[in-house]
């Protein structure tokens, strides 16, 4: 039988596939667990989003969707006060990031390519994208307080990628610091890619500075997602905002890959979500309040809790190893995320859930510590 | 102002973007036209598909979809009598093809890379994918009757890509011919990628030969789509069937790009569609009957009509140029597709619509010819 080759290598794979190191997404468990492992929103999307999607369930599904995602782009442009030609829509922010890595950074085959820079501890998809496109990169260590040190990114490079707030630490840096980094790289014609997946839970975003009438900022691309603050991880929509020329490059790469990446129903849902600011402001406020409350309680229990500007917290148990704490929580019905990277192996990342779920989490943490003392 | 850079090149684009030649999808017109230009199905998807999607419109949209698309893979496996680990699901067959080109063919940077082979007149996305991944390729001319000549593909190469039936000609080749090509390349560890986007309208498919218990066929990857015979172009789902090792490579590449490419609602709709064989058999039969009827009528009007095994016909007006015929139809409210490629510039491609739409089309053809005589 030839069918059970499973995950063994094959003589038909090319050099690219043999060199890939794919991203491993957080578990989507089949059993009933309190799911605090992939930074999903604990509150549902609003009814008007479901209604808009429902209206798109009709015989027109036989027709291709709008390849330009016009309605979604208009909604993003209105929501963030930019022009439509400054907006690119992708199948989740991961796809947008994949295209951006492929469009703006030079591959190692080009002898002039300098390494791109991103934090050593950050979204673990960045080195995967770099491998995919064969980009040289330098992973820059965080500071002693797990912070991104802006001065480390003001050096000659092939470009910069920063998550703000950073993941999985949750720590943000000031818009001013990113603008300084961008100004330096503008002089060298290099891009600064700012992944603002979690920015709605933070005070720090550079979006308001993109269209500064006094300063050209055409080397900044901001990437956002509907998977976190918009509570639509199941929909697969993300977007980028930047200068028209950056957007055109993303479109070129997309149209060399797959012209239609957002289906009709998802386009309807995304446009509706981006037009409902009141509901999302309310649930975001709730999540931030829960985050602050839980952080304080964990500090009282002698946890290390990094100061989060996201919808998750990155915490270290006072006595247990990260892995034991992860396994202990799982045994108690709570799924969080533990990363194998040496430097953060003592930590776990916990998504902020509903107050009820987080109270159960707190109770287990508290009971767990007692039994370990 | 920095915002209106439009489509001009930018100092931030890398060499890849500067070298791309993106695919230009068929027009999605805003005005009311009889739309026969992008090979969509004229009949709607069945109600059970819409119901399945409707059930997926719930608060779970806040959660990521199943990255493995388990339900859809199971449905494909059942429908085509293969194992689940032989199935890869993608965001339309274009995405599946993009991953396949990226996973199995060597790029020009590798000095051992031989050119891949595909027909000179075929799906115009193939050279675009080749550019995207920097693959050397040879475009092989069709025969005098616009047919693919199988013997031309039995030469040492980096791999082979064949659309069967071919587009935009609609002409198919026998499964036996493809198996012979595959057997030759198997000895050289090279892949044969068979794009069966239109195979449901044809008698020729190699799917039944994939799991031949007597002959190993692990160098064949078949790609299919729900956009044509399944009447779900608006849903963005396609799939590949091949050996487990080929599927693993596609997964590796996808997970280095975007782990979740099919949203929750699309997964529900695709699984339902793949489970409804009766409805689709019926509308496919209708489309084939209309195709045969219209082909005969056009022959009577002295059109050149290539023998189609697809849901479109490729035809040449007896006196008008391809462009004039295209423009004349458009003026009469009918949108078809005209390609600029020199060798087929006299032809237009006409999607088979409903009988009513095709009668209007026929009437215009007939009236048009009268006025031209």
Kindly report, residue by residue over B171-196, the tens digit of the pLDDT: 999 999 999 999 999 999 999 999 99
Q: Which DSSP symbol is given to A153?
A: G
Predicted confidence (pLDDT) at residue B2 exceeds the cutoff of 60: no
Q: Which two tokens stand for residue A176?
A: 């001013």
* A228 DSSP 8-state letter: S
* Cβ separation A256–B129 shorter than 8 A: yes
Evaluate whether A77 touches A293 at the Cβ level (below 8 Å): no
Q: Is B189 left (phi over 0), alpha (psi -120 to 50) or beta?
A: left
Mean pLDDT of B23-33: 85
Burial code (b: 16+ CB inside 10 Å, e: under 16) for A203-218 equals ebbbbebbbeeeeebb
Rounded to the nearest angstrom, the gap between the alpha carbon of residue B102 and the centroid of all alpha carbons in its chain is 17
A185 dihedral zone (left: phi>0; alpha: psi -120 to 50; beta): alpha
- Measure CB to CB from residue A189 to each of B11, B64, B234 and give the nearest one: B11
* Interchain contact, B269 vs A61, CB within 8 Å: yes
- A vs B, Cβ pairs < 8 A, gives 332
Q: Is the pLDDT of residue B124 over 90?
A: yes
Give the pLDDT confidence score for residue A8 in this predicted structure: 65
**Interchain pair B3, A244: CB under 8 A:** yes
Q: From residue A135, give the alpha-carbon distance in Å to each of A106, A251, B11, B20.
A: 6, 20, 18, 18
CB–CB contact B256 A227 (8 Å)? no
**Beta carbons of B245 and A12 less than 8 Å apart:** yes
Name which of A64, A110, A219 is nearest B38 (Cβ-Cβ). Answer: A64
For residue B100, CA distances in Å to A311, B106, B260 come to 36, 11, 17
Nearest CA to A11 out of B146, B121, B190, B179 is that of B190
Q: Are B165 and B309 in contact (CB under 8 A)?
A: yes
pTM of the predicted model as reported, rounded to 2 decimal places: 0.95
Could you give the dihedral angle defined by the CA atoms of residues B308, B313, B318 and B323, in that order, rounded to the nearest 10 degrees? -140
Which pLDDT value is given to residue A2?
36
**Would you call B28 and A98 a contact, using CB atoms and an 8 Å cutoff?**
no
In angstroms, the separation between the Cα of residue B12 and the nearest Cα of chain A is: 6
- Residue whose structure tokens are 């090319």: A14
Structure letter (DSSP) for residue A116: E
Which residues face B138 on adjacent strands? B117
**Please, which residues have CB within 8 angstroms of residue A235's CB and are 6 or more apart in sequence?**
A226, A227, A266, A269, A270, B61, B263, B264, B265
| Pairwise CA distance, residues A117 & A58, whole Å | 46
Query: Positive or negative, the Cα torsion across A75, A81, A87, A90?
Result: negative
What class has domain B47-275?
alpha beta
A217, closest residue in chain B (CA to CA)? B2
Q: Which structure tokens are listed for B298?
A: 């056009």
Q: Which residues of B touch A86 (CB under 8 A)?
A: 3
Task: Look up residue B199 and give its DSSP letter.
Answer: G
Q: For chain B, first and last CA: distance in Å?
A: 56
pLDDT of residue A369: 60
Q: Which of A6, A110, A264 sits opposite B85 (nearest CB)?
A: A6
pLDDT in tens, B44-56: 999 999 999 999 9
Task: Assign B342 to helix, strand or coil.
Answer: helix
Tell me the three state secondary structure of residue B30: coil
Predicted pLDDT of residue B370: 55
Across chain B, how many H-helices and E-strands are there? 12, 12
Q: Which of B306, B240, B229, B215 is nearest to B273 (CA)?
A: B229
CA distance A299 to A160: 34
Determine the distance in angstroms separating the CA of A350 from the nearest CA of chain B, rounded to an integer. 15
Interchain contact, A106 vs B60, CB within 8 Å: no
Residue A194's H or E segment, with its range, is strand A192-195
B263: which 2 tokens? Answer: 């949203």
Do A25-44+278-372 and A47-275 share a fold?
Answer: no
Q: How many CB atoms lie within 10 A of CB A300?
A: 10
Edge-to-edge strand ranges of the sheet holding A192-195: A87-90, A238-241, A220-225, A192-195, A160-163, A116-119, A137-140
B26-44+278-372: CATH topology: 3.90.1150
Rounded to the nearest integer, the mean pLDDT of chain B is 94
Q: Which CATH number applies to A25-44+278-372: 3.40.50.300, 3.90.1150.10, 3.40.50.970, 3.40.50.150?
A: 3.90.1150.10
Q: Which of A118, A119, A86 is nearest to A240 (CA)?
A: A86
A150 SS3 class: helix
Contact flag B255-A24 (C-beta cutoff 8 Å): yes
Mutate to test the interface with B, among A16, A90, A232 (most CBs of B within 10 A): A16
Rg (C-alpha) for chain A, rounded Å, is 21
CA distance A203 to chain B (A): 23
Predicted pLDDT of residue B142: 98
Tell me which chain B residue has its CA closest to the CA of residue A241. B3
Q: A109: nearest CA in chain B?
A: B109
Name which of A321, A329, A323, A326 is nearest A357 in CA terms: A329
Q: Do the Cβ atoms of B208 and B199 come closer than 8 Å? A: no
Give the list of residues 6+ apart from residue B142 with CB closer than 8 angstroms, or none.
Answer: B119, B120, B121, B148, B149, B166, B169
Tell whether the model's pLDDT for residue B121 goes beyond 80: yes
Per-residue tokens: A143: 């500071």
Q: Find chain A residues with C-beta within 8 A of B16's C-beta.
A: 102-103, 107, 133, 253
pLDDT classification of B216: cutoffs 50, 70, 90: confident
Backbone angles phi, psi at A350, to 5 degrees: -120, 120
| A12 with B41: Cβ contact below 8 A | no
Distance (Å, whole) CA B272 – CA B67: 18
**For A72-90, what is each residue's pLDDT tens digit?**
999 999 999 999 999 999 9
Task: Say if residues A306 and A171 touch (Cβ distance below 8 Å).
Answer: yes
Say if residues B260 and B235 touch (Cβ distance below 8 Å).
no
Are A58 and A258 in contact, with CB atoms under 8 Å apart?
A: no
Contact A118/A162 with Cβ under 8 angstroms? yes
Among B328, B334, B329, which Cα is nearest to B353's?
Answer: B334
pLDDT at residue B3, as a whole number:
37
At residue B369, the pLDDT reads 59
Identify the residue whose tokens are 């996305």.
B125
Q: What is the CB-side half-sphere exposure of residue A199 using CA atoms within 13 A?
A: 21
Contact residues for A68 (Cβ-Cβ < 8 A; gap 6+): none
Chain B residues inside the 8 Å CB shell of A231: 61-62
Nearest-5° Cα angle at A282, A280 to A286: 115
Among B25, B109, B253, the residue with its CB nearest the CB of A20 is: B253
Tokens of B350: 């006409």
Q: In a mutagenesis test of the B interface, which of A87, A245, A335 is the best target, namely the one with the most B β-carbons within 10 Å?
A: A245
d(Cα B332, Cα B326) in Å, to the nearest integer?
Answer: 10
Domain boundaries, chain A: 25-44+278-372, 47-275
Residues of chain A scoring pLDDT < 50: 1-6, 372-373
Spatial distance between the Cα atoms of A352 and B142, rounded to a whole number of angstroms: 60
Distance CA A2, CA B91 (A): 27
Nearest CA to B311 among B203, B228, B206?
B228
Does the distance separating the beta carbons of B105 and A12 come in below 8 Å? Answer: no
């Amino acid at each position: 039988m030839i069918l059970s080759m499973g995950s063994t290598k094959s003589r038909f794979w090319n050099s690219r596939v043999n060199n890939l190191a794919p991203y491993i997404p957080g578990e989507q468990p089949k059993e009933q667990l309190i799911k605090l492992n992939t930074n999903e929103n604990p509150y549902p999307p609003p009814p008007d989003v479901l209604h808009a999607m429902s209206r798109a369930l009709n015989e027109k599904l036989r027709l291709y969707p709008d390849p330009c995602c016009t309605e979604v782009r208009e909604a993003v442009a209105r929501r963030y006060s930019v022009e439509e030609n400054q907006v690119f829509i992708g199948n989740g922010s991961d796809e947008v990031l994949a295209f951006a890595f492929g469009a703006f950074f030079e591959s190692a085959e080009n002898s002039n390519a300098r390494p791109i820079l991103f934090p050593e501890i950050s979204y673990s998809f960045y080195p995967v994208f770099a491998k995919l496109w064969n980009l040289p990169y330098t992973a820059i260590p965080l500071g002693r307080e797990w912070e991104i040190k802006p001065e480390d990114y003001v050096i000659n490079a092939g470009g910069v990628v920063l998550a703000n707030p950073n993941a999985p630490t949750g720590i943000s840096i000031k818009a001013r610091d990113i603008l300084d980094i961008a100004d330096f790289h503008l002089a060298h014609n290099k891009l600064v890619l700012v992944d603002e997946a979690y920015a709605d839970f933070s005070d720090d975003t550079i979006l308001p500075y993109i269209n500064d009438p006094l300063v050209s900022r055409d080397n900044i691309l901001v990437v956002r997602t509907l998977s976190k603050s918009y509570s639509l991880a199941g929909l697969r929509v993300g977007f980028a905002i930047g200068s028209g020329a950056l957007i055109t490059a993303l479109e070129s790469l997309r149209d060399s890959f797959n012209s239609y990446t957002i289906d009709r129903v998802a386009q309807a849902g995304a446009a509706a979500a981006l037009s409902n600011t009141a509901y999302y402001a309310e649930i975001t406020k709730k999540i931030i309040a829960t985050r602050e409350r839980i952080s304080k309680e964990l500090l009282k229990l002698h946890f290390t809790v990094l100061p989060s500007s996201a919808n998750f917290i990155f915490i270290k148990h006072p006595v247990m190893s990260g892995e034991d704490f992860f396994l202990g929580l799982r045994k108690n019905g709570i799924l969080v995320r533990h990363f194998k990277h040496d430097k953060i192996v003592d930590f776990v990342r916990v998504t902020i859930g509903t107050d009820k779920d987080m109270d159960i989490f707190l109770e287990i943490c508290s009971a767990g510590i007692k039994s370990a003392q």
